[in-house]
Amino acid sequence: MLVIEHLSKQLGVTRAIDNLSLRIEQGEIFGLLGPNGAGKTTLIRLIMGLLLPDAGSIRLFGQYAPGTTPVRQLIGYMPQALAVYPGLSVRENLLFFGHIYRLPNIELQHRIQEILAMVELSHKQDNLVSTLSGGMVRRVMLATALVHRPKLLILDEPTAGIDPLLRIRFWDWFDHMVQEGTSIIVTTHSLSEASRCGTVVFLRNGTLLEQGTPRALMDKYASPDLEAAFVAATTTHVPEHAREISQ
């Protein structure tokens, strides 16, 4: 699904991604975990083709570079920031994004009803997005990312700022999507909810600390949960420059 080799990106004076190599397989939820500033969003933007790397390479679906026309049709993207139109209704937003992806009208009409039912917004489809609660707006954003049936769904902090019950619903929807054949990359700083990922990566300062299943990482560090495993991994993998300073 995705192969990243020796990827680096400098943002100002910050080394946002530092010689990162990663492989993501098809048919799973893949979690990019780490605190704010770990490089998660920068990595997502590089995968999407919104940023160009300073070094290294990214290949999607075995053959495509990020941002190319074929790959745009295969990826759905839900960013952290507002990415729908407040002055349009829920349904109008889905129509707009569906037309961007050139879905035939009959197919699009059916897909809109299907997606609205899944995210539980059928009763709000004629409401302006500007009148919705924050949690409902996040659901509209998820729906627009899914309207064209992407093979790969990229979610950047999709549950940020929403209540615990809706967070659980989001993860239930993610599981449902994977069962239907969509692969998912999700960034989060919530290590507790990331236990539902099939594979997780620990990121810190743009570098990869660990990769594996949640259970394998908890077992490796003899930790009761992913948060404790992350803390243990962080203290184990001390950067070379930090060792020199401490000495």
| Neighbour tally for 99: CB within 10 Å | 12
Q: d(Cα 88, Cα 130) in Å, to the nearest integer? A: 8
> pLDDT tens track of the chain, all 247 residues?
899 999 999 999 889 999 999 998 888 999 999 888 889 999 999 999 999 999 999 999 988 999 888 898 899 999 988 899 999 999 999 999 999 999 999 999 999 999 999 999 999 999 999 999 999 999 999 999 999 999 999 999 898 878 888 888 889 999 988 988 899 999 987 777 888 999 999 999 999 999 999 999 999 999 998 889 988 998 876 544 333 323 3
* Cβ atoms of residues 158 and 142 within 8 Å: yes
Annotated domain spans of the chain: 2-74+153-246, 84-149
Level-2 CATH architecture, domain 2-74+153-246 = 3-Layer(aba) Sandwich (3.40)
Q: What would the 3-class secondary structure string for 147-177 be?
A: CCCCCEEEEECCCCCCCHHHHHHHHHHHHHH
In this structure, how many other beta carbons lie within 10 angstroms of the beta carbon of residue 24? Answer: 20
Structure tokens at 236: 């184990």
Q: CA separation (Å) from 156 to 92, 103, 186, 211, 245?
A: 23, 25, 6, 19, 34
Cα distance between residue 3 and residue 5, in whole Å = 7
pLDDT for position 247: 35
